[in-house]
Structure 1
């Protein structure tokens, strides 16, 4: 019985320690997921907290624009607030960490917009997201979206 208790205690410690001390990959994945959740719920103020001030975004799919700086990207994102529905789903992410302070995330996305007239537009493609760690916090510094074939 003593060995059983020891095994249970060790197992609980291993499980709790693993979730408590998440690595950079898990932290980056959490930022990507939380940013997406905030965007999809139109909680743009929370979404913006995951972005670096010097973010650059090449939309390449919905518009051919390069958004330079957080204020420019915020203006573009806030324009979605008047629409009935805007969703972004990122999937099949590959997360790579470099030098413990840079992350590159590649994946596929589906972007859906319901216009004021009820028309539904869906775009899909590839996404590359770059994050940097500033003062211990992962921030999105670059988005690049490109259409599928």
Structure 2
């Protein structure tokens, strides 16, 4: 079975969601991609963000504090589970932004878990981290 169309839909969902915060903050549109019970773990936020409201507030805090100059995603990989109702997406990213007058460039990796509900893919879990430097 060829999963190309399904894979492309999942990747498009993640890319569309990321545009809501990297190109200009669209809180209402961003929130539509997030499951009500979503959870996120970030390297700069203690604990975890639990629930859509907390998840959206975490990203709002970042975009209000940062001026994003560049965002790129590469090397997306998608794996399906639970008879195709759950997808895990990983990719690498590069972001360049200014915060508190300091320009920051970061390379990292992101891992999303999405569930399909009502014919749409929703983010239910997210964990991202900077790409480790040379050892």
The TM-score, its normalising length taken from structure 1, stands at 0.74
Separation in 1, partners of 2:129, 2:103 = 20
Which stretches in structure 2 are left out of the alignment for 5+ residues? none
Separation in 1, partners of 2:50, 2:72 = 23
Q: What residue in structure 2 maps to residue 111 of structure 1?
A: 95
Equivalent pair of 1:58/1:143 in contact (CA under 8 Å): yes
Separation in 2, partners of 1:56, 1:113 = 24
Equivalent pair of 1:125/1:147 in contact (CA under 8 Å): yes
Structure 1 residues 100 and 143, CA gap change in structure 2 (3 angstroms): same
Which stretches in structure 1 are left out of the alignment for 5+ residues? 1-21
- Distance apart, 1:65 and its partner CA: 3.7
* 1:55 is the counterpart of 2:38: yes
* 1:148 is the counterpart of 2:131: yes
Q: What residue in structure 2 maps to residue 92 of structure 1?
A: 75
More helix as a share of residues: 1
Structure 1 residues 147 and 64, CA gap change in structure 2 (3 angstroms): farther
Q: Which stretch shows the higher mean deviation, 75-84 or 106-115?
A: 75-84
Q: What residue in structure 2 maps to residue 28 of structure 1?
A: 10
Structure 1 residues 144 and 81, CA gap change in structure 2 (3 angstroms): closer
Equivalent pair of 1:24/1:100 in contact (CA under 8 Å): no
- Distance apart, 1:44 and its partner CA: 2.5
Q: Which stretch shows the higher mean deviation, 22-31 or 90-99?
A: 22-31
RMSD: 2.0
More strand as a share of residues: 2
**Paired residues, number:** 126
